[in-house]
Chain A
């Protein structure tokens, strides 16, 4: 049970339903806002590009958590759905001259539709069996984008070049590329995260969680399981499609290597490490898992001469640490970083008492 500060007496349901109640919570929120605004002015281009990748990963991880953490439907198809979003948006802008904004919206819808289709096995399968079924969606989509039958997707090139971002005449410049992208991504990510947070304080989000916790009881109180599961697949895939489309326009190139099974597993790791069934957890997890390889690389550059193994075997070290982190979280805090953060807050609140 999370600690609540004493002395909060809500006088109305409106005030009780707010996401934040205490002054400390508003202060933290303001701090976060300031951090987000200040970041592009203090970071250099290298770190800003990492921040941008993290922002995109946050959208994808939040989307995956809606499905896996909140609705309890395990999905290994994340990479494939990212590909659907990326290819849809890239093809629409490059080949059909659709404005970026509309192309991205179309990508979201297309991914939601395809995600719902591949969610159909979820109506019959649970747990590991569903994981295998969604793995099939990953393999199928990956196969299609890799083989590119008849050059339908890339016109035989094997990749799609995407033009520099231009939103109704607002052109991203080469010199301020990362800063401008940061602005775009930060706005979209904040909106996406808040929307997800909102979803889970309404009846629809609750019905997802009901399906996760007790599907028979959920049906007995009038939740249409078919509809709830497919809606969850659609919403989740929509988020992932958005992330995919943003990857396409941000990296300005779309090719199949970016959307392999590895990506699916990385995203799954993000939400496990961050905290299943928590929007904040997905954010923390995305940040943590995106920063981990970067930090290891930095460490290798720093101390590579003293510990040659770091430098010589960098990819192996990265993979090993990646695995070790996941195992450590599964053993010591299965509810992830979100729970750790909660416990830290509780510790401060109850201090000097233990509970």
Chain B
């Protein structure tokens, strides 16, 4: 199949690889008497796929909502670091720091923090193309008179941003659905469109809330491939909430584990897998039984290996 050469970088971050990108610092979130998050701290590094896992109700989505400004935690800070590297044209960008904790969602989005939602939140009556073009919203100028005039700046702008949108369509193989209303598409494709819309922002950080929920094994594999493409080809740092442990352990560089609103582990997939607190959270309080299970699993692996 013929594809265009990608001309645009989808990665909006000018942080050098391996430098801290987002710092979650002692964040606590309460809804009345319910503690959704308690003293959560961890750091997301530029260039990582960072998974957040935990049992249902552990506070994963709440944490994501705190980062993207939908919830404002009562305590703690979330800081986004920018700059320190070079931008697309090779100019060096001075380092900067933004406190996300008090910003409204649209301002967080303007810093390039893009996200997808657990339950698809697309603009159902608009076409795939329009949904993706909306991902370009923060990069466009919006004047009532120019829009109504159409010829001139408005049209030029539409065409200019269309080029990047088409690259995202190519990357995610949405060509066949370009002009279809999103509401009429299959679930798996809608999930992909949502990923695409977030990508069109040229994110500094991409937050994906269960991008593979409700998919069969094949669709999951596809989606994992797209996420890896986004990460490896486009170089975007990704925060991923996911329940499927195989996927998480396969594609992430770092894993944070939440349980009852507390961070119980944070490390590489292998470290986390071996962490007794994680085993306890996932397999129950009976540590001894958990160890037996673990040992049995290792034995099996060794036997098959």
Q: Which A positions have Cβ atoms within 8 angstroms of B?
A: 1, 13-14, 17, 195-196, 198-199, 201-207, 209-210, 212-214, 216-225, 231, 234-235, 277
Contact = CB atoms under 8 A, between A and B. Distances in A.
A231 B145 CA distance: 12
B148 A199 contact: yes
B157 A220 contact: no
B159 A203 contact: no
B-side interface mostly: helix
Nearest to A14: B159
Interface stretch (B88-96, B126-134, B247-255): B126-134
Interface stretch (B44-52, B108-116, B229-237, B293-301): B108-116
Contacts of A203: 133-134, 136-137, 140, 142, 147, 157-158, 161
Contacts of A199: 144, 147-148
Nearest to A12: B159
Interface stretch (B117-125, B238-246, B268-276, B280-288): B117-125
Contacts of B159: 13-14, 17
Given A206-B126, A213-B125, A220 B134 contact: no
A343 to B, nearest CB: 15
B158 A221 contact: no
B59 interface: no
Contacts, number: 120
Ordered nearest first, which 6 A-B pairs have the shortest CB separation? A222-B109, A222-B138, A198-B150, A195-B148, A217-B121, A213-B123
A-side interface mostly: helix
Interface of B: 68, 70, 104-106, 109-110, 114-115, 117, 121-126, 130, 133-138, 140, 142-144, 146-150, 154-155, 157-159, 161-162, 180-181, 184, 197-198, 201
B158 A213 contact: no
Nearest to B149: A198
19 contacts: A14-B155, A17-B155, A198-B148, A202-B157, A203-B157, A207-B142, A209-B123, A213-B125, A214-B121, A216-B70, A216-B121, A217-B117, A217-B123, A220-B115, A221-B109, A221-B114, A221-B135, A222-B109, A223-B134
A220 B105 contact: yes
A201 B157 CA distance: 11
B106 A219 contact: yes
Contacts of A201: 150, 158
Given A198-B147, A221-B134, A223-B137, A204 B142 contact: yes
Contacts of B125: 209, 212-213, 277
A72 to B, nearest CB: 10
A204 B143 contact: yes
Max chain A CB contacts within 10 Å: which of B130, B135, B136? B130
A70 to B, nearest CB: 10
B289 to A, nearest CB: 42
